[in-house]
Structure 1
């Protein structure tokens, strides 16, 4: 975890101050993913790769009777998240911790073995061992719960020059769209007894995916 944390801290040491403002216009589908969570009162919601806490704050405001948890490998981003959560007066509703998305113990971190909802928003494209992170996320979905992922898509419906330029720009920030996310999620879900569905959004700019575990 130390190497990944150091890399992310170097990347976000300065970006963290303008991250939410700069990402507002191109991290499409985040609010749609939050709207689809729909946790019941008392449900637990975990965000893997919570960054600045933006999604957690929005979700906790929308669903005040649920309990929220977030983890991120970057100390720099978590510092911003903690301050933002405190300003929003949601410290009693949101718990955050530093952890590697591919290997963490939710019981040790949060006192929770599983979660009713798990959210991964634009994080898989930044995690080199993203399949391991996806496996871990699926294993944490409680009976009757769901995993919700939103990330960059394959750009298949976009004009080719725009899609090519977008991918080159993302690569400069070590971001790699996971073109096989749908197939990988379907395979990993089936092996764990979950069902999954994936949809392309905004002509392939973004992908929204959900995996459901039976009660």
Structure 2
């Protein structure tokens, strides 16, 4: 995204979540399925680093930091409103010393400038690609942010191909209210990136296609 587009999207997300951020985690736990499976599969090494793109309220970082106590975590989000909630959650958990947050665009970011890091052992993206304009660039940026031997972990909405049509219709209409669009070409984009970088892809559908989970190992 251009600087103008980034500012516009940041303002949009701030507007969407200015009030919703206070109830976001309570309401989203019922339909952002697969997030805990993603965290369980991160396997962040002791002394390692992990970056979440689109970290939102910090919910995933808090849970991951509890599980991988020897690791450092970093979070990037375009919404300052969401980052304010994340800071509160992280301070409450007592993990501020090993978590750093920054405001930025997931499609183009400088890890050294934002975090003082040249790369991460793990990068994870949970239900954010479906909200990011130019999301394909976010995938490329995430892979570029990995250390050699690192891995990218993704969970997001699938195409609900084995769920009733009425359910898909209602869900997509609901998601559109929050500027969310399941990415029909996600698997193809990930496969293409893997071919470019000689990386391996694990891709699976969850809950009859409701969600998808992917891991790219460099």
TM-score (norm 2): 0.96
Which stretches in structure 1 are left out of the alignment for 5+ residues? Answer: none
Determine if the alignment matches structure 1 residue 42 to structure 2 residue 47: yes
RMSD: 0.7
Q: Could you give the per-residue CA deviations for residues 65-97 of structure 1, whole angstroms, max 9, x where no partner exists? A: 011000100000000000110000010011100
Query: Quick one: distance in 1 between partners of 2:194 and 2:118?
Result: 19
Give the structure 2 partner of residue 109 of structure 1: 114
Query: Quick one: distance in 1 between partners of 2:76 and 2:200?
Result: 25
Query: Quick one: distance in 2 between partners of 1:178 and 1:2?
Result: 23
Give the structure 1 partner of residue 81 of structure 2: 76
The answer to which of 2-11 and 117-126 deviates more is: 2-11
Per-residue deviation, 1:193: 2.2
Per-residue deviation, 1:189: 1.9
Query: Which of residues 33, 38, 58 in structure 1 aligns to 2:38?
Result: 33
Determine if the alignment matches structure 1 residue 2 to structure 2 residue 7: yes
Q: How does 1:5-20 map to 2 (within 5 A)?
A: 5-20=10-25
The answer to which of 137-146 and 51-60 deviates more is: 137-146
Query: Quick one: distance in 2 between partners of 1:3 and 1:192?
Result: 32
Q: Could you give the per-residue CA deviations for residues 131-175 of structure 1, whole angstroms, max 9, x where no partner exists? A: 011110111121111000000001001111111211111112110
Query: Quick one: distance in 2 between partners of 1:209 and 1:202?
Result: 14
TM-score (norm 1): 0.97
Q: How does 1:24-173 map to 2 (within 5 A)?
A: 24-173=29-178
Query: Quick one: distance in 2 between partners of 1:20 and 1:169?
Result: 17
8 Å Cα contact 1:186-1:197 kept in structure 2: no
Give the structure 2 partner of residue 193 of structure 1: 198
Per-residue deviation, 1:32: 0.2
After superposing on structure 2, the runs of 4+ consecutive aligned residues of structure 1 that deviate more than 4 Å are: none
Which stretches in structure 2 are left out of the alignment for 5+ residues? Answer: 1-5
Query: Quick one: distance in 1 between partners of 2:174 and 2:55?
Result: 22
